[in-house]
Structure 1
Amino acid sequence: MARLERLRVYPVKGLDGIELEATDVLAGGTLASDREFALFDADGEVLNGKRTDRVHDLRTDYDAKTDALEVEAPDGEVARFDLEMECDRAADWFGDFFDEDLTLERDRELGYVDRREMGPSVISTATLETVAGWFEDEGMTVEGARRRLRANVEIGGVEPFWEDRFVGEGAPAFEIDGVRFEGVTPCGRCVVPQRDPETGEPIDEFRQRFVRKREETFPDWADADAFDHYYTVMLISRVLEADRGEALRVGDSVSVVET
């Protein structure tokens, strides 16, 4: 049976995610605590994994109930911040690490997601297993694929690339325990998935192999016209306004709804 297998949010954009048993859909359509914080340079540009592979040198953890952020540097130094009170101190620490003049900004209403007019990212467990299998010889695990692709919502009990069916002309929607999601666009990928999330080391010719495998395994039931290219995996969705404010919980049932 299709079910909500995992929920993962990324409290500080570009840094590690945390797994949740439950979270709310915000009024803006994103998930609570997802990309709630972001580092910006003096020109107002965001600092993330697309910009620097040094983000992979840091391990972070965040407690959404207490606003406590813990950061471990490569030398083993551990810094702790109360982000309700200490955003400036945290920004100074990150500025020293990245050697940039940084501010740490917070958006409780929407978060600093890339596509601010859209909603949660969605992938199936079977998709992650398939992608990890393409790079098994390079040591990619399913958890490694999770950390590379950085989805919010993971659906279990379905086939690989299940999420591809929700884009294109006449595409259905799906519901997680009555909360309705509609597909907006497939997610074209950047440089981040080719890098080991622990070390930042890239897999040689990652994109070329990914594109070849994606084309070979592209589902017959997906609408190819909805995809600009094959360097694409994961769905960017939108939660209906009427369902925003509702909670999602791991284990909730998932059903496809014809539009």
Structure 2
Amino acid sequence: MAPYLARIDIYPIKSFDGVAVETIAVLASGALQGDRAYALVDASGKFVNGKRFASMHRVRSRFSDDLSQITVWLNEPTSATTFHLTSPTADFEQWGSNYFGQPVTLQHNGEMGFPDDTDSPGPTVISTATLQTVADWYGLSLAETRRRFRSNLEIDGVPAFWEDRLFSESGAPMPFQIGAVTFWGINPCQRCIVPTRDSQTGDRTQHFQKLFSEHRAATLPPAVARSRFNHFYRLAVNTRVAPNSVLQPLTVGDSVTILE
């Protein structure tokens, strides 16, 4: 099989649950429309996210089709409450302030969102086979592993760690195309504490990072430059949109091609 785009996930509010979509616009910044477009921040301007708050994992959420509303709950959907993400947002901010035990506000950036890597704000890319391989390391389901790593674009029709071809040994951007859009692969994505936790409870998986690094080093494809790994707790590829790329929507089923 030839590589193709098998899944698109966006995360409308940073650290909240994702939304699987069939098609998505690519913004001029390289970000996917609606991905991490909102974020909760504390009084000092720091993100209120899963890195800092393990309690974030216990929050379940779903979004309206136009992403203008969020419904949140902690235990059962029967206790869910729906809030507006466009003005007025005070009720949602009050809910967040109560839950996290400090004042929080909702911020919005419709041009680039709030990516972890602002130098490479394009979608993160990973293969389905990679996620399944990592799932097998820990006896996790594919769905749980997908939720832990929170990548945007999932490629199928390829072997595990195929996406490691999307960055170069020299560090120069690696061009590849999904549908009509040309991206640059930049570097293997450095992971944080979030994948070490159960995505639904926040409970820590013992020795997750140590085992991951050992397995990752052992399974790194021979053609991939180890010099791009100052450590092996890296998975998926950070991207930028190539200058002057045709910004057509991405759609599940689009072909994926590495450009020479």
TM range (shorter): over 0.9
- Structure 1 Cα separation of the partners of residues 87 and 183 of structure 2: 35
Give the structure-1-normalised TM-score.
0.94
- Cα distance in 2 for partners of 1:231, 1:9 equals 23
The percentage of counterpart residues that share the same residue type is 37
* Preserved CA contact (<8 Å) 2:3 2:256: yes
2:147 corresponding residue in structure 1: 147
Amino acid at match of 2:57: H
The residue aligned with 1:164 is 164
Q: Which residue of 2 aligns with 1:121?
A: 124
Q: Distance in 2 between matches of 1:172 and 1:27?
A: 19
**Distance in 2, Cα, partners of 1:232 & 1:145:** 14
Q: Distance in 1 between matches of 2:89 and 2:6?
A: 33
- Using structure 2 for the length normalisation, give the TM-score: 0.94
Cα distance in 1 for partners of 2:243, 2:97 equals 38
Question: Is 1:193 the equivalent of 2:169?
Answer: no
How much has 1:241 moved relative to structure 2?
3.0
Corresponding letter in the other structure for 2:242: L
Residue type matched to 1:83 in 2? Answer: L
Per the alignment, in what secondary structure is the counterpart of residue 33 of structure 1? coil
After TM superposition, give the deviation of residue 5 of structure 1 in Å.
Answer: 0.5
- Give the unaligned 5+ runs of structure 1: none
| Pairing partner for 2:95 from 93, 103, 126 | 93
Contact 1:56–1:200 (CA<8 Å) still a contact in 2? yes
Shift of 1:88: 2.0
Pairing of 1:18-57 with structure 2 (within 5 A): 18-57=19-58
Report what 1:257 is aligned to.
259
Which residue type is aligned with residue 199 of structure 1? Answer: T
Distance in 1, matches of 2:255 and 2:105, equals: 40
CA RMSD after TM alignment:
1.4
Contact 2:180 2:247 in 1 (8 A): no
Amino acid at match of 2:62: D
Deviations 1:108-158 (Å, cap 9, x if unpaired)?
A: 11101111231110000010011001001xxx1111110000001100101
For the 8 Å contact 1:25–1:244, the answer to whether it is kept is no
| SS at structure 1 position matched to 2:55 | helix
Query: Residue 200 and residue 224 in structure 1: after superposition, are their counterparts in 2 closer, same or farther (change >3 A)?
Result: same
State the partner residue of 1:177.
179
Matched residue type, 1:13: K
Distance across 2 between alignment mates of 1:240 and 1:57: 37
Q: What CA distance in whole angstroms lies between the structure 2 residues aligned with 1:28 and 1:126?
A: 28
**Residue pair 2:174, 2:186 contacting (<8 A) in 1 also:** no
- Which of 134, 140, 157 aligns to 1:131? It is 134
